[in-house]
Every structure is written in C-alpha cells, then in structure tokens.
C-alpha cells in the first residue's frame, strides 16, 4: 500500500520540524506539512492561553481543555480528508497522552497508508536545544522527551540526539512506498 500519510511523533525540541522540511526536500513528490503548531496558530489567541484551550505552564507543562479538544478532533478529521482527496501529508505531532494520541489519529486515518515514525531525542540534549531556540517555554523539552512515546508503536524510529535532521529524513524517506 502506498504511503499517503507520514505521522511524526516527538517531544518539543526533538527536531521534528527540521526533519519535516528535509523530508519535503528529499521526497520526489510534493508533501503538505501540517502539525500541531499549524493547528494551534489557527486557533483564537484567547484559546491559546485559557483553561478551555491550551495553556503552557511556566515549568513546561501543557494542559488541554475541552474546546481545544473539540477543534482538534475536527482538525484531525479534516487532515484525513485531505489525504483521501489525494494530498500526501506529513503530520508533525506531539502525543501528550502517548498511546491515546496515536489511537486518536489511527481511527481517523483508517484505510490510508500510514507510516508511523517516532522522533526521539535525549531529554538533556532536547532541553539544550530549547535554550538555543529561545522561543519556547523552557521545560517542555525535558517534560515531553519520554512521555510522548509511552506505549506508542512505530514502524520506524529515528533519534536526533547524534544524527542530523537530513540523515533522519533520508532514513524515513527509504520507508516511504
């Protein structure tokens, strides 16, 4: 079965966005990149800082409210519809609740050829990259490094701790059918 969707899951500052851009560059066909960041940017500013939406604690914790969850469900449904309509899609995700996050996407992506990829990065290294980026709440990288992978089964895992984004992207591209 042709790969129609590539789902990358990894913690904050694990290097997903860099891999996504490299994948778009190395894959021969055009792929749309849509991720949690795209969705959060599309939400009202008020929801980005409220208990009903998504709130980032000073220590890097992230809490999700019911209105965020409702929009996210519709978003996921829509991304699946784009793939069914013929677009190749790279989903750049953070499964805050681990296996439940993959389950949520699996249900929506039924019938599509999906490549599940875990993007790992040692917590300490990711935390250092978070400082180097300078645009993220410090603490998220460490908090998410392990938890987002809990109980998640992948087709393939890459680790950016000591491997460049472009090299990880090439490894993933070899698994795309």
Which residues bind to its own copies, rule: CB under 8 A?
Answer: 17-19, 21-22, 24-25, 30-34, 38-39, 41-47, 53, 67, 70-71, 73-75, 77-87, 125, 128-129, 131-134, 162, 164-167
Distance of CA 106 to the CA centre of its chain: 14
Active-site residue numbers?
Answer: 37
C-alpha gyration radius of the chain = 16
Say which DSSP state 149 is in: G
Q: How far apart are CA 100 and CA 164, in angstroms?
A: 29
Q: Which of 124, 117, 104 is nearest to 169 (CA)?
A: 117
Q: Please, what is the minimum distance in Å from the beta carbon of residue 9 to its own copies? A: 18
Nearer to its own copies, 51 or 73 (CB): 73
Query: Please, what is the minimum distance in Å from the beta carbon of residue 41 to its own copies?
Result: 8
CB of 151 to its own copies, least distance (A): 26
Smallest distance from its own copies to CB 115, Å: 17
Contact 12, 132 (CB under 8 A): no
Residue 61 contacts by C-beta under 8 Å, 6 or more apart in sequence?
139, 143
């Amino acid at each position: 079965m042709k790969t129609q969707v590539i789902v990358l899951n990894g913690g904050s500052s694990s290097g997903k966005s860099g891999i996504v851009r490299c994948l778009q560059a190395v894959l021969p066909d055009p792929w749309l990149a849509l991720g949690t960041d795209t969705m959060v940017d599309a939400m009202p500013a008020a929801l980005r800082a409220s208990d009903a939406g998504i709130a980032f604690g000073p220590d890097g914790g992230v809490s999700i409210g019911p209105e965020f969850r409702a929009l996210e469900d519709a978003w996921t449904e829509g991304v699946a519809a784009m793939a069914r309509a013929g677009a190749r899609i790279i989903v750049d995700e953070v499964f805050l609740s681990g296996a439940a996050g993959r389950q949520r996407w699996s249900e929506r992506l039924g019938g599509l050829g999906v490549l599940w990829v875990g993007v790992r990065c040692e917590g300490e290294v990711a935390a250092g990259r978070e400082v180097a980026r300078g645009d993220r709440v410090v603490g998220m990288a460490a908090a998410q490094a392990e938890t987002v992978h809990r109980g998640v089964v992948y087709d393939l895992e890459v680790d950016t701790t000591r491997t460049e984004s472009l090299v990880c992207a090439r490894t993933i591209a070899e698994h795309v059918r």
